[in-house]
Structure 1
Amino acid sequence: MQAWTVERAAEELLRREDKRIDGEPLSDTWPELDLETAYAVQDETLRLRLARGETLIGVKLGLTSRAKQQRMNVDSPLVAWLTDAMVLPLGVPVPTHKLIHPRVEPEIAFVMGRKLSGPGVTAATAICAVEKVFAGLEVIDSRYRDFRFTLPDVVADNASSGLYVTGSVGRSPDELDLALEGCVLSVGGSVVYTATGAAVQGHPAEALALAANTLARRGKRIEAGWVVLTGGVTDAVPLSAEAPVSVDFAGLGRLTVGS
């Protein structure tokens, strides 16, 4: 078998995404894949996305809640990229024909008012850089069969990026207690999960600070105007044609996606 390289891995993951096929984790046949190499794959994948016309518009955090870490059998959060091709307009059905096995999770989304550069960013300084807070739903989609992966695998796969949508209610962060911001996730009208913003690293601003400091180690920063998805507040649920997925936030309103 041909040896894995950063470039080959990036091309393979994009091929799976474009062809709507999954496969075994890279680490099955590339045991040397570590986090540093995985982030290099992620950055190479971004380079290929930009080369084909996509625009970088933000970052997303993955596995920030204990529920997600337990489900995916990993023990630390990660940071990945958002491009304009991942935006799902409000009210538009999810194009499931372009996805492999989509799942939906609720997010607290930030729109940045100014740039944020690590190292040494704290939650207090991070939240001061936020202009608006929105409800979000992320449609995650793994290029690995059965969502089976190690932490380096999912980092390389851009944190299972798929699509995301944000709500129409944007509020200043000083209007909300984001740690106590209640969230109810329902499928077909039936409540599946409840949580608060504290499920995301204790406070979503902690996740934002983590993103800034993680990016700083890679020589990068969060830019003004970017969207930051702070990570799933609850575990994700499968998306089906029969049952739309809704989230109700206490201060950020309701958001629904369906196929």
Structure 2
Amino acid sequence: MALSDNMINTAAAVLETAQRSRVPAPPLTESYPGFTQGDAYAVQQVNLDRRLAQGRVVVGHKVGLTSAAMQQLLGVDQPDFGYILDDMVVPDNAVVAADQFCAPRVEPEVAFLLRAPLRGPHVTVEEVYEATESVASALEIVDSRIADWRITLPDTVADNASCGAVVLGTWVPYHHHLHLPGLGASLLINGVETDTGMGTAVMGDPAAAVAWLANALAAFSVAIEPGQFVMSGSFTSARFIHAGDTVTTDITGLGAVSLRFS
């Protein structure tokens, strides 16, 4: 049975408080037995509406759980999604306070910048590429407002798919010779390579993740609009970071993007 509106609003407030205080909350699936994925997206929407009412603007979207390893870890068979607001975008080579997050990790991804809208439910990979203006190397700072990253799929969905912030590299105009599944990403922390991965790790093709997102958003009567970007999913596992760390990812043909945590 779906949670009542009052319970949805209370659960959303728990996550909002955790984000503001930097004190993680217990899993919502423990606090609310029977908490479903539908409940979770309703909680996510409450907090999105709150931020929009405060003057924030949706500038992008993220797809999470795109790799087989992450899906297996959480016992799920599908990705999830969240929103990216204007104040969640960090400049390349910026310095960010680590303590503004609860328990941050980083992931290397390809971001897609759209020149045409994508509206599901039948968007294809080919249509994603046709609608793409540019792509860029990117870092996602994933962060869980759930204590100890003790998350199930509904927990992370409610928590905006565990999105903290994103760092975008230089936009590279997309052309059909740029074969994204064949691109390799290297993730370096303090100059040491900690992980590598290929574009094929992202649902076989990062554009497949964008197509999945457009089709999933159709159930909420939402399209990916021109000028918005999509974080398509990680090429590697997510690595914890701490104050003092410098993180860089370099993706074949797209260049590098970096961030330092103070």
With normalisation by structure 1, the TM-score equals 0.95
> Whole-Å Cα distance in 2 between the matches of residues 226 and 5 of structure 1?
32
Matched letter for residue 42 of structure 1: Q
Kept in 2, the 8 Å contact 1:127–1:205? The answer is yes
Inter-CA distance 26–251: structure 2 relative to 1 (3 Å threshold): same
Counterpart contact for 2:93–2:257, Cα < 8 Å: no
SS of corresponding position for 2:116: coil
Of the candidates 90, 97, 108, which is equivalent to residue 110 of structure 2? Answer: 108
5+ residue gaps, structure 1: none
Change (3 A) 1:150 1:218: same
Letter in 2 for 1:50: L
Indicate the RMSD between aligned Cα atoms, in angstroms: 1.5
Match of 1:216 among 202, 205, 218: 218
Offset of 1:81 from its aligned partner? Answer: 0.6
Q: Give the structure 2 partner of residue 17 of structure 1.
A: 19
Contact 2:37–2:153 (CA under 8 A) maintained in structure 1: yes
- Per-residue CA distance 1:153-209 (angstroms, 9 max, x = gap): 110100111110111242314241000011111122222111111110000110000
8 A Cα contact 1:240 1:258, kept in partner = no
User: Share of identical aligned residues, percent?
Assistant: 39
Partner residue, 1:243: 245
Q: Which residue of 2 aligns with 1:91?
A: 93
2:194 counterpart residue number: 192
Give aligned pairs, total: 257
Partner of 1:139: 141
Distance 2:7 2:169 in 1: 39
Partner of residue 164 from structure 1, selected from 157, 163, 166: 166
Runs of 4+ in 1 over 3 A off after TM superposition: 70-75
CA distance in 1, matches of 2:173, 2:253: 8
Does residue 50 of the first structure (1) align with residue 14 of the second (2)? no
Q: Distance in 2 between matches of 1:169 and 1:137?
A: 13
Secondary structure class of the residue paired with 1:126: helix
